[in-house]
Amino acid sequence: MFEGLAGPALGVWVLDPRELLITNALGFPRCGDRRLKFLLESVADLRAQLRGLGSELLVRLGEPESVLPKLMRETRANRLRAVEEPGTEERAVEKRLRRAFAEDASLGEFDLLPVEALFEMDDDPRAAARELPEVFSKWRRKAEKHLEFALPDAMPTSGRLGGWPVEVKARDLPTLTSLGRAEPAYDPRGVLPFVGGESAGLQRLRQWVFAGDHLRGYKETRNGMLGEAYSSKFSPWLALGCLSPRLVVQETLRYESERTANDSTYWLRFELLWREFFRLYLLKHGAKLFRREGPADRPLDYANRPQHFEAWTSGGTGVPMVDANLRELAATGFMSNRGRQNVASFLAKNLDVDWRWGARWFESQLLDYDVASNWGNWAYAAGVGADPRGFRGFDVIGQGKRYDEQGAYVRHWLSDESSPNGRHPHEPWKDGGPNPIVDVRRSLADAEARWGQAAPGH
């Protein structure tokens, strides 16, 4: 971002109400309080860092395409620089800004750097996206064979960005209260007390990889659901750019040279390739990723019973593996990958609810919400995305028994009246508890039949 700049430079953060402050068509905030809090903390940390470099982070509320041209005049800057994002809404804003700069030469230059790629690429990532295979493993094999990991950009040195010649009001950072939101309660049952910002992200990186030495066993622990150590929990910081995936890769390579190299140390890079794949996948498919039929063009219909969706979001379906995960999400803003796969499959397949409702709920609740990873994974889970195989629906009861054998996870989150305390923590109805809101096995078989009838392109 700062490369090639002779300085001085100012940072700008524009809070776009369309993205962060509106209520969506399903009636909940597009960005929930917890995610907003994490974002505001991240911006505060960025401001502190820019000030440490002698610069400033200007903060404005509004639509970037109107705010930024005004700010160019106010600051008398001659160049605006931004990093391109793969999301369709972000790209539309970039397009409008580009037009504004093209129509008014007095605004100066608008310099859009290409989407940050994990690998060194000769071409713009857009070209790579056009040629992206539909199947992850095909792309991964090619990338691992032919491409080199890119190094993270160097940090600017202290004082280099300072000395802006015009006085400009930086303005206070908004707070949850000033934005009409409430401070979310902290739940000590969560995996981590997540704090936004690069400083906390770097601390987690050092702690998990080196101090805790957790990387060496990651492949064996990554399907866990309880505790801070089973997976890296880097995702909230990665999603906001507080941690660079390039830096994470470099740290895994350093760990391999200083400590040990094994399947686990490779596997974290493998998972980051999924993130990279979905970013390219969104660049490739654009608005198609947000349609019900998805990029696979499979015309599935859904019953969309509101009471089913309500039971799902509030963790009241009666299936412990599903409910515990959704309660964790609502209480903390985080859910493990194992949990996400199960609850996504359960919503779209067993409950027969449009997968995009679930993607919207995740968008609202997840601290690590990332447009490409979220919508790409949801489309995949719903069978309308990048999955090469036939119908895939999770046996959520079997998954609970396999990944939470003793029921410790479901007991951790379902500690109230629905507590699965009997001999069958994943099937409490066998101990006299209530039945789930759908017959789990039959509803999955019905979903498979619907899936088979909805052939792509019809």
- Provide the binding-site residues for ligand FAD, judged by CB under 6 A: 222, 231-235, 238-239, 268, 271-272, 274-275, 278, 336-337, 340-341, 344, 362, 366, 368-370, 373-374, 377-378, 381
Residues in the chain: 458
Nearer of residues 378 and 451 to ligand FAD, judged by Cβ: 378
Q: What is the DSSP letter of 453?
A: H
Query: What's the min distance (Å) between Cβ of 329 and ligand FAD?
Result: 11
Output 55 or 235, the one with its CB closest to ligand FAD.
235
- Positive or negative, the CA dihedral 388, 392, 396, 400 is negative
Distance CA 315, CA 196 (A): 26
User: In the bound complex, what is the minimum distance in angstroms from residue 236's beta carbon to ligand FAD?
Assistant: 8
Q: How far is the CB of 87 from ligand FAD (least distance, A)?
A: 12
How far is residue 452's CA from residue 390's CA, in Å, rounded to a whole number?
9
CB 346, min distance to ligand FAD, A: 11
Which secondary-structure segment (H or E) carries 110? strand 109-113
Q: Using CA atoms, how far apart are residues 274 and 270, in angstroms rounded to an integer?
A: 7
Decide whether 156 or 245 has the Cβ nearer to ligand FAD: 245
Q: How far is the CB of 360 from ligand FAD (least distance, A)?
A: 12
State which residue, 159 or 193, has the beta carbon closest to ligand FAD: 193
Residue 283 and residue 129 in contact, taking contact as beta carbons nearer than 8 Å: yes
Burial category of 185 from C-beta neighbours within 10 Å (exposed 0-12, middle 13-18, buried 19 and up): exposed
Report, in Å, the least distance between residue 373 CB and ligand FAD: 4
- Please return the burial class of 283, using the count of CB atoms within 10 Å of its CB with bins 0-12, 13-18 and 19+: buried
Calculated CA dihedral for residues 199, 204, 206, 208, nearest 10 degrees: 180
Residue placing its CB nearer to ligand FAD in the complex, 377 or 443: 377
Minimum distance of ligand FAD from residue 77's CB (angstroms): 33
Q: Are strands 79-83 and 57-61 parallel, antiparallel or unpaired?
A: unpaired
CB closer to ligand FAD, 47 vs 275: 275
- Contact in structure between 439 and 395 (CB atoms under 8 Å): no
Q: How far apart are CA 404 and CA 408, in angstroms?
A: 7
Name the residue nearer to ligand FAD (CB basis): 30 or 340: 340
Give the DSSP H/E element, type plus range, for residue 113: strand 109-113
Q: At its nearest, how many Å lie between ligand FAD and the CB of residue 270?
A: 8
Query: CB of residue 49 vs ligand FAD: minimum separation in angstroms?
Result: 22
Nearer to ligand FAD, 55 or 342 (CB): 342
In terms of Cα–Cα distance, which of 232, 230, 217 is closest to 262?
A: 217
If the CB atoms of residues 87 and 433 are measured against ligand FAD, the closer one turns out to be 87
Distance CA 137, CA 115 (A): 22
C-beta atoms surrounding 330 within 10 Å: 19
Smallest distance, ligand FAD to C-beta of residue 353, A? 13
- Give the phi and the psi of residue 337 in degrees, each rounded to 5: -65, -40
Bridge partners of 149, per DSSP, are 119
Are 13 and 43 a contacting pair, CB within 8 Å? Answer: yes
- Which residues are within 8 A (CB) of 117 and not within 5 positions of it... i.e. 6 or more apart? 125, 128, 150, 276
- Return the percent helix, strand and coil in the chain, to nearest 5: 50, 5, 45
Closer CB to ligand FAD, 362 or 451, in the complex: 362
Q: Supply the minimum distance, in Å, between the C-beta of residue 422 and ligand FAD.
A: 29
For ligand FAD, give the closer residue by CB, 323 or 368. Answer: 368
